[in-house]
Chains A and B, each alone.
Chain A
């Protein structure tokens, strides 16, 4: 069975380490906050100017001045700090954030990522994603392995306008955990019940498959 959104987030959460400063993108990455292991502490950065994102507010706590980068109402965690957008991106660009998790339309075997624009169709903009992928050493991309027509999103070369070049090192998809190095996708784990053949079939780029591909434990 392929993973649902929450299960992808659960698997990403296993990559967190105690003391990490983490930026979570919009969508599935935001869900990762729900699955931080109890025995570690991480601090979540929101690029609109908050380090230390707390839980969503109760009805009484809702405050229009307190939102995350997805424009959702949030609270500040204990120990949080608030700052300007320039300061926020100094942290990001300066490489002070330990891990960035973001979604994408396409990723290729050289670690290029396309996540912000479909020419002629959808205009959204890159938001902070280009700064995040340029600034972080450690980037995890979450996506579904293929679109609803079965077209792979793990390509030899991205077809859409890029967000960043040679920056993605790890992918957690609905089917697999994949590492990108030396110009290829390397299969690390597969989702429970998903066959290596299905992953191969839905990976258009070069995929290196070791003899033993363990199932994820969630």
Chain B
């Protein structure tokens, strides 16, 4: 099994090979289900000119938002960036390129990219700014636009549990974009809460098969919550 053992012991090893101007596909929804330690390592490495494909860009001082501080991100492909003042500043001043992409289209771009499908048609965005410059085709009397899929040199993923050969289990809504991101990286790095022995995960319960995964690291997660909302008594 040693050829399949994908566990690495340091963040340096986990992100080795990441250089300037690469594209990174990231899982996460807001601060939920983000590979915290991998993002910190990217910040530490200081690589610049990155294109990051991720639903959001963290907050001002946490998650992918940390990479804005030293202007490491050249372009963001995201659906929603409303929680981040520095993001807005860099975008409005022209320092940061942003490709606002509808959330479902973004998920499908990753899914299709990982599945070897270069593009797909969707009704989402027809007649809006999103459709500009894109091929439009009619099917059954309705217009659709052609969206190209995405892949990256790296994908960074957060899972709950992995076995040593990279079979992944996600937990609750921390799943979000992570399964698609896992398929869309040439090198897919997964940060997990727990690494278990091969055979400990029931094959029926595997969310992402290990074939998509290249490196696994056990992380320590802060798991910050953006909006704690409680039941009224």
Q: How far is the CB of A158 from chain B (nearest CB, A)?
A: 11
Q: Name the distance in Å between A10's Cβ and chain B's nearest Cβ.
A: 17
Q: A59, A62, A71, A164: which contacts B127 (Cβ < 8 A)?
A: A164
Most buried by B among A47, A62, A63, A86: A86
Judged by a CB distance under 8 angstroms, whether A131 is at the interface is yes
Q: Is the interface of A mostly helix, strand, loop or mixed?
A: loop
Binds A, one of B1-9, B64-72, B99-107: B99-107
CB neighbours of B82 from chain A (8 A):
123-125
Number of interface residues of A (CB under 8 A): 54
Asked if B108 contacts A58 (CB within 8 A), the reply is no
Q: Is the CB of A73 within 8 A of B103?
A: no
Contact assessment for A56 and B229 in the assembled complex, using a CB-CB cutoff below 8 Å: yes
A55 contacts across to B, CB distance below 8 A: 231
Tell me which of B110, B123, B129, B173 contacts A48 (CB under 8 A).
Answer: B173
Interface membership of A74, Cβ < 8 A? yes
How far does the Cβ of A93 sit from chain B's closest Cβ, in whole Å?
6
Please list the residues of chain B having a beta carbon within 8 angstroms of any beta carbon in chain A.
Answer: 29-33, 55, 78-83, 87-88, 91-92, 98, 100, 102-108, 110-111, 122-130, 160, 171-180, 223-232
Extra inter-chain contacts (19) besides given A49-B29, A84-B107, A125-B79, CB under 8 Å? A49-B176, A56-B231, A57-B231, A65-B33, A66-B173, A85-B106, A86-B111, A88-B107, A89-B108, A93-B122, A93-B123, A125-B100, A127-B102, A128-B79, A128-B102, A131-B105, A134-B126, A162-B129, A165-B126
A-B contact pairs, 10 of them (CB 8 A): A64-B225, A67-B32, A82-B173, A85-B55, A92-B104, A93-B123, A117-B129, A123-B81, A127-B80, A166-B127
